[in-house]
Structure 1
């Protein structure tokens, strides 16, 4: 290169847009998402969209001793399915669900939510669709979307790639915190169905469907009644409304959100020392997606149970005398539920035994 050309190049005026970050597109994305975000606002929200921080005025008169409960999570490799389908309107629901369902287990009411979205290239309509899903999740959970961040990161993410994470804060009175400490032998396990895989185990699910079976997102499977992509993008269920009603009308000892690790790994997180759960495998029906994964991938039952929710997204522990109240509340809400097992003491000679063990046969086929 000649000296003159170097001099000419050095005098070129570069812009942020030339570097891959389009501020104008970012502003358009904000305009497109405004109405969806505002639709989630509760009366406690004091700020509008665009501030440096979201303000939320907690009504402390409602509580004797309010305790804030926080949670954060993402969506994992389910995002890859959304990218493969170029469909982004429901992935935000998953992000909210993974955060909100976690704080519910301690008896918290979700108050507000924030999201962080990082993209390779900012496409306003795509960003608005993603955030629209976040807003829908917040409406289902009853919490306000009071803030967020969209970061355009060229050279870090591929042009069509993105990642999303969420953060939620809820509140519970100290005296009403649910931590599993009162769980005793004889208490019963009440389970709520999942909507599908939810947002866990997707590395295995994608390997089975796409790498092993050779399917695409457009492959229609009769046993699913939909395409592979449609099944895998089914939004994670949010349990806030059901749990709120149960806590108002029944005494609950413990709750578990069944995420990655399945029942096998998540239920022990709420069990007191010396307690274990006996789970009856035949007490709830198999969802076709799990039977399909097991069959296509020749996945062992134990591996299925410690990777996926296998049809149950939420488990509640109650004393036997509370079952009538729980049943009445569930029926009032037209909610499907299953009594799937019982709490037991771990015998002294079985101290090394697993905290969850399974009885019976699961109806995979």
Structure 2
């Protein structure tokens, strides 16, 4: 093995980088190779993924490849009912954005294998995402992966599904069968690998007129669905409209997603706000989304996370009222009463559940 290394940090890490290259190639069954590597301080899991991608492109059969050791806090499970106010999209072929993503405290990170990754590097992105799931501590953020469409997406699952993915995002869903195909492939993968982690939850993305019309069928296609979301760039293109700040062209579709999600008992999640510099526009968009019934919003830059969390947080009066409702409910439960009253008003179970959720949101902000 001959390694030609060009590195800005060669004096510090040159020897260890060469050893890593040699060890990775040996683990992949490669005995003779010439490696040219430009390195700016990449972490081992990145170097391993890029080497493995190069070996696979050369036509070698390397089986499962070289898997990094599990880092601390990478094996934790998720919960179906957790908050998903913010989901930060991260290109799957750009590990530099993954390393500190958790510091910004998003509710979830989306390691994207679809639109943000060029077709020529999707194979490498899969391996980078696989390795990142094992090697990067996202500091409690839910670990999501957006796969590609169709068979390419099923191939994505073969590589990443057993790496403690919490949620799989399924793009451009127009038919419940697309969801069921992903669900079935996950069953096959986890059965064949004997994976120790829970089966990933699913989040279909509605991005077309056909998808919007079948939103409820899609939202109920699998018991493993935790949320339904919408992507407006593709949706507005599909209906032949320009996407506007006011959003009149997508109002019906967004309401359709909210109603389908609520009817199916899953979370409705709104689209991204694409103008990263417009903080007040984002705040207004989140408040509107909350008013429509959405529970979360996608984001494409860390600076959007705090604004999203603030806008989804209930106000002081709302929290105080919710706490009174919850207290009245708990008192009625303790006394064995079926009916819950606050003052002279009877409180229905849906109102209690909403109040409990409001209190949880307030505590999450604190």
Provide TM-score, normalisation by structure 1: 0.27
Q: Which has the higher contact order (CA 8 A, sep 6+)?
A: 1
Could you say which structure has the higher strand fraction?
Answer: 1
Higher helix share: 2
